[in-house]
Structure 1
């Protein structure tokens, strides 16, 4: 066993319910270690050689340790600083000052004032309250679909921007990236660096996206309120249309079974690691006798103790998320679909091919079919083509 000292990059140690999260924030590498493993790591970091640390561990905990395997794990995590390797420097962060301003006490006064003002005008003016008919800000269905769609990406970017700023405020190297879910391009914020701060400091970065949605909704309602004096013009109606879609996206965060922002808030509050996967395994185990229920690794899986203990109760939270989805669909989404169908039906049954509303309805249906039929089929074929194994070349 080597008698040389083991060098380490700067590490963070955060106490969790099932152990201690040790991490290297600059490369976002983290591991949940038991207390004896952390004690051994700290012994090495304090200057003990591998041989001295192994002797100390056996004397302290009454059992031997495979030091070579332990060090290999630490190297794989990027914790060990090899000979000649420079000490990792904290990443240079942009927008940290902006984050501190956005979530400062004066800013919170502004945030709350906007929310309160929007609530007041909605109480006073029924036409400003969320309703499915707000989405149809013009008689042209094509204009409605295109107009609402154009504002979705900026609204999502605003949501993710608040996630990034809340994490940057803490000095964490959060970042935004483009991804794809099925055939949709999505913006995602990587918040792995939250594992380097105590759990109580993780809530604001997790919830800040919902705050952004509430603020955007409030601003749009207030813009529409400023247009009430002479009757709502199309900009005011467009603001209410976008506000309705923002509200739908905010409601989506309550579908915790889809691992939304609230899922990670609940996971942090419960001190869990992956309750979603543990709960799925638990439910498959409970209902394994039912047809078409897949095999479960509940009994054999290496679940974190806290995840295993919480799984039966997290199943109820999952049911709550499904209930929230059903309520949203019933109260907000279904009326929107009904309104769209009514407009299309009226256009098709109107003045025939000489009526502009007839052709507007036809074009709207074509746009809808492009989104829910053509693009999914194309994405599915493209995914199968990507996943298919390469055809071997014929041998000569």
Structure 2
């Protein structure tokens, strides 16, 4: 089947399920306003000075490349250029590293005043920065300096691939042989939710010419890897995995437990849904999304707030981000289109944005899901 890249058609699944275009549009704008300009218990975007802004991880009280890149993606999708530029300037001012092993990467965490918490990067931030910048270039045009969006994006991707080569000290973010993204540079395992083949397809068009074949191969490699990382009977993936898809059980003392379907892993099926909508290259995505929705709607219909092993074994723990679970279960409908899609969509529609300390992660996944399901998470080219 053809995806939106070829057809230019972005379905509004809400409208297909009977919700009016007006209420969908209002709901989306209200979500943006709540996250960016709501009350103290709602928002987590903060302006900083005359021309910068940041998004706070309200659970950890820091600023992360994850959230900053997510904020930029939301802003370019919804045509919020002022907020986009404010966020990007904060990133380049405080998070970009000009020296050391991480030179030209972005430190993954800073305090809200911009002081660093780390001198290491997290690859999911880099790939989202690059994609948001390319979209900004295509939607608004390039500016000067750091606002030459497309050049900034190409620079980021070049470092991700060529670190470790002559003139590029440090470690690459991708395993160059396997063409698979790493959890962090310098380790030999990955995070399934970092795999964004729908982004890599576009990097293959817009990155530096010498890197375009790499990104084309990376898109195919990540799609093949996701077949291994998602359990065939549940659709669940672990937070961290080996390159063969098996859950990663090491590094517990350093990073904690991550072999289960828990917070990071929620994004995996959301990404599969978006790749299906944008490119439609892998029929397996429909099958695994249907399996995933069936797992929640039939096998665990009373336990959406549970924590699971990838084979579906339910543990005693409760989900740290229950709103995020509901959001990605609905976003799976982009691929699934099965008998459980309506139930997942309706549950999401009837779920409000989260308030309180943990609202940052839940509400970003809420926002991405709502944008995608309403046809407002688009390829700008």
TM-score when normalising by structure 1? 0.26
TM-score when normalising by structure 2? 0.26
Structure with more of its chain in helix, by fraction: 1
